Amino acid sequence: MAMLIASLLALSSFLATAHGGNFYKDCTVTWGDGRGKIINSRLVTLSLDRYSGSGFESKNEYLFGKLEMQIKLIPGNSAGTVTTFYLSSQGPTHDEIDFEFLGNVSGQPYILHTNVFTQGKGNREQQFYLWFDPTRNFHTYSITWNPQHIIFAVDGIPIRDFKNLEWRGVAFPKNQPMKVYSTLWNADDWATMGGAVKADWTKAPFTAAFRNFNADACIWSAGTSRCSSGKSRASSPAKKAWWNEELDAKKYRRMRWVQRKYMIYNYCSDRMRFPRRPRECRRH
C-alpha cells in the first residue's frame, strides 16, 4: 500500500511537471541554419553571427493564456543584438505582444522593450532597465493574456498592464490566435544607444539560452479553442488563476515601484510623438 501511494505520488508529480513545456513537443526551430538548437526538452539556445540570427516558435497557436519563458541573455558585449520573446498572430491586422531585450556593451544595462499591437497598430512602447543582471542567470518573463488584461511580468513582478478598454474604442486582442516566438537577431542600426554602438563581430557567435517554456493556455485548433482546464481537472485551478488575473492592490504597488524606478520610456508621456494622449493612456 505504501509503495502504491509512493508511486502514485511520484506519478502525480511527474504529471504536474509534464504539464510544463517540452521544447521538442511544443516548439520548432524555424530559421538560422543550425544556429538555433534544442539542447534537451527544457533548453534551447539561439545564436547570432554576422551572417544570420536564429529563432524558434511554438507549434501551437494560443487564444489567451499564461506564456512563460526563462531566459539567460548574451553575456559580455551584446551591443547591437536583440533577443525576443513574443506572441503574434498572422496577417496585416495582426495582434502582437512583445518582450525585446536590447543588448549593450559590457557592463552597461540591457533595455527591456515592450510593445502591444492590436489590429496591426503598435506604437505602444514602454522600456525598462532591469533590477538585476539578466546575463548571469535565467529569469522568468511571462505574458498573462486574458479577456481583460495583458500583464507583462518579470520574475512574477508585474511591470505593465495593458487593459481591455474596448469601451473607450481601443482594440484589444481577443479573436486572433497567436504563436509564441523567440528570436535573436542583429539590430545594430537601432538597438544600442539608438544605433550608435555596433555589434562587435569579433565576439560572435552571440548566444542566448531559453529554458522551461510553459504555456498554460487555450490552444487554438481548427477554429476552436481548447483550454488547459478542458483536458484535466488538475490544471483547472491554474487556468482559473490566469483567466481571472488582474492586479490586486499589492501587485499594483509592485508594478508602480518598477515603473517609478526602472521605466525609461513610456509612449503615454511622449508628447512629441503623441500631442494628443493615446486613448488607453488617458485617466478617467
Active-site residue numbers? 96, 100
Site string for ligand NAG, 160-199 (x = CB under 6 A): -------------------------------xxx------
Shortest distance, CB of residue 111 to ligand NAG, whole angstroms?
A: 4
Q: How many residues bind ligand NAG (CB under 6 A)?
A: 8
**82 binding ligand NAG? (CB under 6 A):** no
C-alpha cell recorded at residue 159: 511591470
- b/e map of 151-180 (b: 16 or more CB within 10 Å)? bbbbeeebbbbbebbeeeebbbbeebbbbb
CB of 264 to ligand NAG, least distance (A): 7
Q: How far apart are the first and last CA of the chain?
A: 62
Is 102 near ligand NAG (CB under 6 A)? yes
Please tell me whether residue 208 binds ligand NAG under the rule CB under 6 A.
no
CA-based torsion, 268, 269, 273, 274: positive or negative: positive
Grid coordinates representing 242? 490566469
Interaction of residue 126 with ligand NAG, rule CB under 6 A: no
Residue 111 makes contact with ligand NAG by CB under 6 A: yes
Q: Which part of the chain contacts ligand NAG (CB under 6 A), choosing from 67-75, 87-95, 100-108, 224-232?
A: 100-108
Q: Which one of residues 20, 109, 122, 278 is an interface residue with ligand NAG (CB under 6 A)? A: 109
Residue placing its CB nearer to ligand NAG in the complex, 55 or 103: 103
Q: Which residues contact ligand NAG (rule: CB under 6 A)? A: 102, 104, 108-109, 111, 191-193
